[in-house]
C-alpha cells in the first residue's frame, strides 16, 4: 500500500509539467466516485429517467457552480483493466445468429420504414455500443435530455454524456402507415431488412429547436442539416433496436470497422495500460504524427508501460469537400507503412458515426464514444468538429471552446483530455515542430486549404511536411477528382 501511494505521489509531481488534463482538485472527488460506481454494471432501464435534474451534481449549496480549470493535471491511478463503458455494460443489439431466421421472418410481416444512408450509420453506431447505454433511436424523454442537457440520467441516478440526439425522422404518411403496431422494420438503402424497432414512440420533430440547440445557429448552409434534417419528416420515432445482422458496407474497408468490443480485445491483446484516442477527418501530416508520438512519450514519462494509440478517423457522413474515407484510409496506411507512426503501438480503425460539424456540442459525443471503446485519454485540438460559418467569413465556433467544454462536460469525468500543442513547419529544421514563439519567424503554418491546393496542382509541400507515400495518395486523389469533373463536363456538353 505504501509503495502504491508513493508511486501515485511521484506520478502527480511528474504529471504536473507534462500533460494538461481536465481535472481540478474539486473535480477529483467526482472522478473517484464515478470511477468506483462504474466498477460494477449499472441496472439499465429500457428508458432513461428524466424526473431529476441531469446537472444536479454541479450545483453547490452555498456557492455558484465554478467550472474546473481546464488545464490542471490529474495523475492517472494505476489500473489493471480498460475503462468500463458508460452504464457499466457495452450494448450489443445485433441479433444472435441462432435467432436470425425467426427474427427475419417476423420482420417481413411488420410495417416497413425505408431509411437513409445516414440513418443506417446511426443504426450501426447504436448496434455496436458506441452510444452505450442507448439501445435504439431516442424516445422523447431521452431526446429532450440530450438536446437540453447533453447527457442522460440513468435509472440508478448516474449520468452519462450524450450530447448529440440520435433520432429517426418520419413524415405523416409513414407515421400513419405504422397503424397500431408497436414494432416496425427498418429497410436499408439497398432494400435489405436491417432491423426491428420495438416499443416505438412517435413525437414531434421541432427542427428549428433541434438545429439551434445542436449547432448554436439556424443559418442556412450547415452540411448535416441540409443533408439529414431540412427535408426530413416532422415526426421522430424512437424505440429499441434489434439489428438483424452486423452492418457491413462491402466497400473494402469493413475490416477497419472494429466495434468497441473488438477494440477492447485488441487493446488487451497488446497489453495496453493506457489508450489515447485521436480522431481526424483529414489526412495525417507530420505535425499530427509529432503530436501523437509526443503524447506517447509523455504517457511513458508519467509511468505507463505500454500506451497504445487509437488512430480513429471518422467514417460516416462527411461534407462534400472533405477527402473521402477510402482515400484517407490509403493515406493513413502509408503513414504507418513508412514508419511515421509505429504499427506496434497504433491501432488504425474507423469510427462509423456521421459528422455533424457541431463544434463543442459534437466533440463531447466523439469523446464519449471513445470511452465505450476503452480509451482513457482523448487528444483534442483547435476548433474540434468545427467549420467556417456558412454565411459569414469567420469560424462558427471559438477555437478553444471545444477543449474547454470537454474539461467540464457532465458524464466525461473519467476521460483525460489532452489539448493539442501547436505544430507548424520549422524552416530552419526543415520539419514539423512544436511552435516556438521566441523564433516565430522560423515557422510557417500550412493550412488545410494550402495543402489541398498543393495536391490539386501536383506540387510538393516543403520537405518534412508529410511522408512521401502519404502525399502521393493525396495527389492521386485530386487527379482522380479532376478527371471525374472533366468527364462530367464533357458529358454535359454532349447532352
Look at residue 482 and give its three-state secondary structure: helix
In this structure, are residues 308 and 346 in contact, taking their beta carbons and an 8 Å threshold?
yes
144 vs 147: CA distance, rounded Å: 5
Query: pLDDT class for 182, splitting at 50, 70, 90?
Result: very high
223 vs 363: CA distance, rounded Å: 16
pLDDT (average), residues 451-465: 93
pLDDT (average), residues 385-408: 96
pLDDT (average), residues 266-286: 96
Give the count of alpha carbons within 13 A of 1, CB side only. Answer: 0
pLDDT (average), residues 58-76: 41
Predicted confidence (pLDDT) at residue 460 exceeds the cutoff of 90 = yes
**Based on the number of CB atoms within 10 Å of its own CB, is 192 exposed (0-12), middle (13-18) or buried (19 or more)?**
exposed
Which of these ranges, 256-260, 307-311, 448-452, has the smallest mean pLDDT? 448-452
**Based on the number of CB atoms within 10 Å of its own CB, is 220 exposed (0-12), middle (13-18) or buried (19 or more)?**
exposed
Tell me the whole-structure pTM to 2 decimals: 0.85
Look at residue 147 and give its three-state secondary structure: helix
Query: pLDDT class for 421, splitting at 50, 70, 90?
Result: confident
Query: pLDDT class for 447, splitting at 50, 70, 90?
Result: confident
In this structure, are residues 313 and 280 in contact, taking their beta carbons and an 8 Å threshold?
yes
Predicted confidence (pLDDT) at residue 32 exceeds the cutoff of 70 = no
299 vs 14: CA distance, rounded Å: 10
96 vs 197: CA distance, rounded Å: 16
Look at residue 442 and give its three-state secondary structure: helix
Predicted confidence (pLDDT) at residue 73 exceeds the cutoff of 60 = no
Q: What's the length of the chain? A: 495
162 vs 150: CA distance, rounded Å: 5
Give the count of alpha carbons within 13 A of 174, CB side only. Answer: 20
- Looking at residue 493, its pLDDT comes to 75
Residue where the block lists cell 420533430: 205
pLDDT, tens digit (0-9, with 9 covering 90-100), for 108-141? 999 999 999 999 999 999 999 999 999 999 999 9
Residue (of 417, 355, 425, 432) closest to 386 by Cα position: 355
Predicted confidence (pLDDT) at residue 46 exceeds the cutoff of 80 = no
Predicted confidence (pLDDT) at residue 80 exceeds the cutoff of 70 = no
One-character DSSP codes across 24-59: -HHHHHHHHHHHHHTTS-----SS-B-SS-TTGGG-
Most confident of 74-83, 371-380, 479-488: 371-380
32 vs 24: CA distance, rounded Å: 12
- Looking at residue 246, its pLDDT comes to 98
CB atoms within 10 A of CB 459: 9
Rounded to the nearest angstrom, the gap between the alpha carbon of residue 320 and the centroid of all alpha carbons in its chain is 19
495 vs 491: CA distance, rounded Å: 6
- Looking at residue 79, its pLDDT comes to 52
Residue (of 124, 122, 114, 149) closest to 138 by Cα position: 122
- Looking at residue 491, its pLDDT comes to 78
pLDDT (average), residues 66-93: 68
pLDDT (average), residues 380-387: 93
> What domains lie within the chain, and their CATH numbers?
97-243 (3.10.400.10), 249-351+422-495 (3.40.50.620)
pLDDT, tens digit (0-9, with 9 covering 90-100), for 4-28? 344 434 433 333 333 334 433 333 3
Bigger pLDDT: 285 vs 1: 285
Residue (of 73, 5, 3, 10) closest to 301 by Cα position: 10
pLDDT (average), residues 451-468: 93
Amino acid at each position: 500500500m505504501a509503495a502504491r501511494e508513493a508511486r501515485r505521489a511521484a506520478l502527480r509531481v511528474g504529471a504536473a509539467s507534462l500533460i494538461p488534463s481536465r481535472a481540478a482538485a474539486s473535480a477529483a472527488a467526482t472522478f473517484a466516485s464515478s470511477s468506483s460506481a462504474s466498477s460494477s454494471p449499472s441496472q439499465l432501464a429500457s428508458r432513461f429517467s428524466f424526473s431529476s435534474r441531469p446537472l444536479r451534481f454541479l450545483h453547490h449549496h452555498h456557492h455558484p457552480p465554478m467550472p474546473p480549470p481546464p488545464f490542471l493535471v490529474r495523475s492517472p491511478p494505476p489500473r489493471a483493466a480498460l475503462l468500463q463503458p458508460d452504464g457499466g455494460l457495452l450494448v450489443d443489439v445485433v441479433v444472435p445468429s441462432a435467432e436470425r431466421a425467426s427474427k427475419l421472418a417476423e420482420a417481413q410481416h411488420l410495417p416497413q420504414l425505408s431509411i437513409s444512408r445516414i440513418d443506417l450509420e446511426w443504426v450501426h453506431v447504436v448496434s455496436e455500443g458506441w452510444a452505450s447505454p442507448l439501445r435504439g433511436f431516442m424516445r422523447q424523454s431521452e431526446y429532450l435530455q440530450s438536446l437540453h442537457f447533453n447527457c442522460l440520467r440513468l435509472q440508478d441516478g448516474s449520468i452519462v454524456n450524450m450530447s448529440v440526439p440520435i433520432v429517426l425522422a418520419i413524415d405523416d404518411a409513414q407515421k400513419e402507415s405504422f397503424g397500431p403496431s408497436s414494432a416496425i422494420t427498418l429497410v436499408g438503402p439497398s432494400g435489405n431488412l436491417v432491423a426491428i424497432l420495438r416499443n416505438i414512440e412517435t413525437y414531434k420533430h421541432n427542427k428549428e429547436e433541434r438545429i439551434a440547440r445542436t449547432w448554436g445557429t439556424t443559418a442556412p448552409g450547415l452540411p448535416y442539416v441540409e443533408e439529414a434534417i431540412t427535408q426530413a419528416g416532422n415526426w421522430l420515432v424512437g424505440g429499441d433496436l434489434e439489428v438483424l445482422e452486423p452492418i457491413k458496407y462491402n466497400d473494402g474497408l469493413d475490416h477497419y470497422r472494429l466495434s468497441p468490443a473488438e477494440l477492447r480485445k485488441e487493446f488487451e491483446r497488446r497489453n495496453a495500460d493506457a489508450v489515447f484516442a485521436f480522431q481526424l477527418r483529414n489526412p495525417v501530416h507530420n505535425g499530427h504524427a509529432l503530436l501523437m508520438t509526443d503524447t506517447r512519450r509523455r504517457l511513458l514519462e508519467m509511468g505507463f508501460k505500454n500506451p497504445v494509440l487509437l488512430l480513429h478517423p471518422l467514417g460516416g457522413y462527411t461534407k462534400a469537400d472533405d477527402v473521402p474515407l477510402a482515400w484517407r484510409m490509403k493515406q493513413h496506411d502509408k503513414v504507418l507503412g513508412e514508419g511515421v507512426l509505429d504499427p506496434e503501438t497504433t491501432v488504425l480503425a474507423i469510427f462509423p458515426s456521421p459528422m455533424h460539424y457541431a463544434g463543442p456540442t459534437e466533440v463531447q459525443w466523439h469523446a464519449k464514444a471513445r470511452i465505450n471503446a476503452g480509451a482513457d485519454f482523448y487528444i483534442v485540438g483547435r476548433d474540434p468538429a468545427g467549420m467556417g460559418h456558412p454565411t459569414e467569413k469567420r469560424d462558427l465556433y471559438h477555437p478553444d471552446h471545444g477543449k474547454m467544454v470537454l474539461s467540464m462536460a457532465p458524464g466525461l469525468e473519467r476521460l483525460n483530455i489532452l489539448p493539442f500543442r501547436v505544430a507548424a513547419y520549422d524552416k530552419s529544421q526543415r520539419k514539423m515542430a512544436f511552435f516556438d514563439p521566441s523564433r516565430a519567424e522560423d515557422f510557417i503554418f500550412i493550412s488545410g486549404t494550402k495543402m489541398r491546393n498543393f495536391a490539386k496542382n501536383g506540387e510538393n509541400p516543403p520537405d518534412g511536411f508529410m511522408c512521401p507515400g502519404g502525399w502521393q495518395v493525396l495527389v492521386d486523389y485530386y487527379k482522380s477528382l479532376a478527371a471525374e469533373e472533366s468527364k462530367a463536363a464533357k458529358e454535359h456538353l454532349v447532352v
